[in-house]
């Protein structure tokens, strides 16, 4: 970021140089893989800005990125609100998620006409909806003002799909089972509040971080997208035994458990056996 900060060069030009730095080598050290993944995330943020401001400079990008969100703090449970695009939220979770502007013309975007384009829009909407660990809130506006012109709006028809899914017997059963699992877990409710069971096992924490680095490299995402440091520290301290135990830890919801739960528990078993 420091190299971009004072730059007046077009952001599009700066991104070309950054993209060259993300070319990977299979034999590169883990630290270098993390650095390249972080640069890749920076490049994606740059393209997000160019989509709304094609004339952006490298310097204005740095200011925008700092004002948008401190992405390396995701998952640390601070008293704050993270504001992200559907794209940027991929792989992350929060106890409560608010989706705003879910209106026809925005979700799906008005220029998405072909089947493939609509399928991609629906996939992104699914990603956004499934970022919520406990509660999802969706809102839309009946009227919006663009410049000096006011326009009536209508809610996205895709909200109907969410309501139908929320009322389905399968969803109700899954939600009930998850709530009961949290209540019964021997780890107790304090983990959700972020209180640690004690100091983390240093050897276990090291193994968890090695696994995270390899997983992030394979997915071509920054390491924090897989799990924040605080979450891995909680795992290394609590040493959960089951998927239900994992759900009690701050920063781990059903999506993360489904995706990474088996791998985490395998690492935990290996360290318990040794």
Q: Could you report the per-residue pLDDT of 10-44, keeping only the tens digit for each?
A: 888 888 877 777 665 555 565 666 677 777 777 87
| Residue 75 confidence class, pLDDT cut points 50, 70, 90 | very low
Element at 151 (helix H, strand E): strand 149-152
Q: Are 77 and 194 in contact (CB under 8 A)?
A: yes
- CA 146 to chain CA centroid, Å, is 30
Percent pLDDT > 90 in the chain is 13
Q: Are 134 and 250 in contact (CB under 8 A)?
A: no
- Least confident range from 56-70, 103-117, 142-156, 240-254: namely 56-70
Percent pLDDT > 70 in the chain is 74
Q: Supply the pLDDT for residue 111.
A: 86
Q: Could you report the per-residue pLDDT of 219-261, keeping only the tens digit for each?
A: 777 777 788 888 898 899 999 999 888 888 877 877 788 889 9
Domain ranges of the chain: 2-68, 94-167, 181-273
> Which of 2-6, 16-20, 168-172 reaches the highest mean pLDDT?
16-20
Cα 120 from Cα 25, distance rounded (Å)? 30
| Residue 103 confidence class, pLDDT cut points 50, 70, 90 | very high
Count of CA atoms in the C-beta half-sphere (13 A) of 98: 7
Instruction: Name the fold adopted by 94-167.
Output: Double Stranded RNA Binding Domain (3.30.160)
| Residue 174 confidence class, pLDDT cut points 50, 70, 90 | low
Decide: helix, strand or coil at residue 129: helix
Q: Which residues contact 234 (CB under 8 A, 6 or more apart)?
A: 191, 194, 196, 197, 200, 249, 250, 251
Instruction: Name the fold adopted by 181-273.
Output: DNA polymerase; domain 1 (1.10.150)
Q: What are the residues facing 103 on neighbouring strands?
A: 155
For residues 70-91, average pLDDT: 64
Mean pLDDT, all residues of the chain? 77
Q: List the structure tokens of 243.
A: 């998927």
Residue 71 pLDDT > 60, yes or no? Answer: no
Q: Supply the pLDDT for residue 165.
A: 77
Q: Supply the pLDDT for residue 84.
A: 84
Q: Are 18 and 36 in contact (CB under 8 A)?
A: no
Residue length of the chain: 274
Q: Supply the pLDDT for residue 196.
A: 44
- CA 160 to chain CA centroid, Å, is 24
Q: What are the residues facing 146 on neighbouring strands?
A: 149
Cα 119 from Cα 196, distance rounded (Å)? 42
| Residue 182 confidence class, pLDDT cut points 50, 70, 90 | low
Element at 138 (helix H, strand E): strand 132-138
Residue 186 pLDDT > 90, yes or no? Answer: no
């Amino acid at each position: 970021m420091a190299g971009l900060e004072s730059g007046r060069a077009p952001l599009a030009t700066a991104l070309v140089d950054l993209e060259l730095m993300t070319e990977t080598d299979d034999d590169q050290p883990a630290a270098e893989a993390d650095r390249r993944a972080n640069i890749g995330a920076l490049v994606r943020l740059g393209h997000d800005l160019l989509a709304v401001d094609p004339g952006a400079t490298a310097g204005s990008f740095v200011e925008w990125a700092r004002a948008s969100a401190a992405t390396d703090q995701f998952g640390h449970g601070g008293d704050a609100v993270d504001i992200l695009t559907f794209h940027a939220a991929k792989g992350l979770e929060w106890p409560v998620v608010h989706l705003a502007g879910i209106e026809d013309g925005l979700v799906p975007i008005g220029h998405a006409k072909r089947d493939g384009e609509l399928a991609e829009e629906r996939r992104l909407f699914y990603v956004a909806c499934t970022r919520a660990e406990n509660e999802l809130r969706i809102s839309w506006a009946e009227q919006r003002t663009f410049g000096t012109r006011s326009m009536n709006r209508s809610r996205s028809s895709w909200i109907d799909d969410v309501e139908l899914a929320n009322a389905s017997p399968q969803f109700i059963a899954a939600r009930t089972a998850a709530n009961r699992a949290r209540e019964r877990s021997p780890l107790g409710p304090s983990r959700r509040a972020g209180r640690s069971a004690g100091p983390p096992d240093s050897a276990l924490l090291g193994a968890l971080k090695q696994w995270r680095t390899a997983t992030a490299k394979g997915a071509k995402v920054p390491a924090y997208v897989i799990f924040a440091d605080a979450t891995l520290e909680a795992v290394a301290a609590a040493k959960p035994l089951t998927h239900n135990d994992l759900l009690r830890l701050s920063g781990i919801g059903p999506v993360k458990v489904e995706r990474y739960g088996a791998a985490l528990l395998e690492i935990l078993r290996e360290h318990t056996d040794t």
